[in-house]
Structure 1
Amino acid sequence: MRRAALPSRRAARGFTLIEVVVALVVMAVMSVMAWRAVSALSTSRERNEAAMERAETLQTLMRQWELDLREVQDSAVLPAALSFDGNALRLTRRRESGLQLVMWQLRDGRLSRWESGPVTQRDALQDAWFRSQQLSAEELRAMPGLEGVTGWQMFFFRGNSWSNAQSSGDVVDSSDAAASSPGQTTGSAKQRIAVPSGVRMQLQFGEGSGYSGELVREVAVEAPTS
């Protein structure tokens, strides 16, 4: 009777310890490479989304900036329909239900926009002017704004040239005694500062803000008198 053939020693043995270790190392390397690829893809997507969000914020604010300037309305109440003190730009803007005071201010590296409600009374417009001077940093931070701004300059187009917005502007006569309203420092009670025909804004951004270089915006101003 023939004895059944025994399996060879080579076929019967399993994986050696070295083979198992090598397989684990290969799997670990492949896992690390896959994780890095996924991580890089995720990081790239987050950066792209952040850049798109910053660009959208900037575009939205610049559209609002241009809209504000194109709807400037001389109230004949405040000394100027458009004024800049080096830190804040204030303007009166026409709305369907009255006039609105708008202020753009740079504080703590953030350019913020504040607006009052539309008003129809002289006293209410003066109150809004006072209110714009008393806003706290917390209130401004709650308003729409742009982070990372380190500085800004403003120029008005008067006559046939650009000049510093803080320089003296043309004075126009007014028969409204309300021209002596709060904030007027020059001129008589029957004079106001003429509205410039254009505004140029230059913004500088800090490192890490996501913006580079300098942003320049020029807007033509057409301000019909009230």
Structure 2
Amino acid sequence: MRPSPSRRPAGFTLIEVLVSLFILALMSAMAWQGVDAIARSRESTQARMDRLLRLQTVLAQWEADVQAVIDTQVVPGLNFDGATLRMTRRQPDGVQVVAWTLRSGTLYRWTAPPSNALDTLQEGWMRSYQLLGNEAGTLTMLDKVAQWQLFVFLTSSNGWSNAQSSGDLAQVPPAPVDPPPAEPGASGPGNGVVSAAPPIVVNQDALPDGLRLVIGFAPGGAADGALTREVRLVHP
């Protein structure tokens, strides 16, 4: 009888196994890079959405403050010095001093307690010039803000101008003064002397009819480049 031919043993050779392992490792690495890129993209998109939502919330608060501005004739209703925007806004329980301040690339909002007393209102207005950023009532609104600028719109000139320049002058009538007491033997109200001089008029900047906010963001900020927002002021 002829011997049967030798048969190859079943299974893979070592080289085949190594080649298969190399291919699997390469595919796993490619798959991991794809998953990692998707995860990073998702995190970046989520962070950007969070910044945009934060920006929308801050702008909504800023617009609410501006639209509630009131001129009390005691302190300026609105004032901007390049770094701080101060305003007095209506509240259900009085008038409140609000200050928006840009300090070291961070935008803060400070509020004084609402009050109906003139001395308290003046005190809150003076405190807005001494803010350090750690006072009670201070909130951090935005970070990575490179610069900001405000412009006011005046109906009389039908144009925008820098908020730091002088605006329209509002004529505020003086407080009424009681006439002096009558002298003995004099007739008529008071001492009978009527002044021919016109009444004294107090000049101050009238509230604008619109306000434009321009914010420039640093890299990594809530937006790219600069953002512009305009608000119309309705005077009661």
TM-score range with shorter-chain normalisation?
0.7 to 0.9
With normalisation by structure 1, the TM-score equals 0.81
One-letter amino acid of the counterpart of residue 73, structure 1? I
* 1:146 and 2:154 matched: no
User: What does 1:3-14 align with in structure 2 at a 5 Å threshold?
Assistant: 8-12=6-10, 14=11
One-letter amino acid of the counterpart of residue 174, structure 2? S
Partner Cα separation in structure 1 for residue 23 and residue 111 of structure 2: 63
Q: Name the SS for the 1:143 alignment partner.
A: strand
Displacement, 1:139?
A: 5.2
> 1:88/1:6 Cα in 2 relative to 1: closer, same or farther (>3 Å)?
farther
With normalisation by structure 2, the TM-score equals 0.78
Q: In percent, how many aligned pairs have the same letter?
A: 45
Displacement, 1:30?
A: 1.5
One-letter amino acid of the counterpart of residue 216, structure 1? T
Displacement, 1:191?
A: 4.1
Displacement, 1:134?
A: 2.5
Displacement, 1:76?
A: 1.8
1:87 maps to: 83
> 1:199/1:120 Cα in 2 relative to 1: closer, same or farther (>3 Å)?
same
Instruction: Indicate the structure with greater helix content.
Output: 1
Partner Cα separation in structure 1 for residue 174 and residue 65 of structure 2: 27
Partner Cα separation in structure 2 for residue 47 and residue 168 of structure 1: 44
> 1:152/1:8 Cα in 2 relative to 1: closer, same or farther (>3 Å)?
same
> 1:86/1:93 Cα in 2 relative to 1: closer, same or farther (>3 Å)?
same
Equivalent of residue 214 in structure 1, options 218, 226, 232: 226
User: What does 1:154-193 align with in structure 2 at a 5 Å threshold?
Assistant: 154-158=150-154, 159-160=156-157, 161-172=159-170, 173-175=172-174, 190-193=202-205
2:217 maps to: 205
Q: CA RMSD in A?
A: 2.6
* 1:118 and 2:117 matched: no
Displacement, 1:150?
A: 1.0
Between the two proteins, the alignment pairs up a number of residues equal to 207
1:97 maps to: 93
Partner Cα separation in structure 1 for residue 73 and residue 65 of structure 2: 18
Partner Cα separation in structure 2 for residue 47 and residue 40 of structure 1: 10
Q: Which is bigger in relative contact order (C-alpha 8 A, separation at least 6)? A: 1
2:208 maps to: 196
Partner Cα separation in structure 2 for residue 41 and residue 8 of structure 1: 54
* 1:53 and 2:50 matched: yes
Displacement, 1:208?
A: 2.8
Partner Cα separation in structure 2 for residue 150 and residue 196 of structure 1: 26
Q: Name the SS for the 1:133 alignment partner.
A: coil
Partner Cα separation in structure 1 for residue 131 and residue 81 of structure 2: 16
Q: Is the 8 A contact 1:174 1:191 kept in 2?
A: no
> 1:20/1:167 Cα in 2 relative to 1: closer, same or farther (>3 Å)?
same
> 1:189/1:121 Cα in 2 relative to 1: closer, same or farther (>3 Å)?
farther
Partner Cα separation in structure 2 for residue 146 and residue 55 of structure 1: 11
Partner Cα separation in structure 2 for residue 170 and residue 210 of structure 1: 35
Partner Cα separation in structure 2 for residue 134 and residue 94 of structure 1: 23
For structure 2, the residue ranges without an aligned partner over 5 or more in a row are 177-199
Q: Name the SS for the 1:201 alignment partner.
A: strand
Partner Cα separation in structure 1 for residue 231 and residue 97 of structure 2: 19
Q: Is the 8 A contact 2:52 2:222 kept in 1?
A: no
Structure 1 or 2, whichever has the larger Rg, is 2
For structure 1, the residue ranges without an aligned partner over 5 or more in a row are 178-187
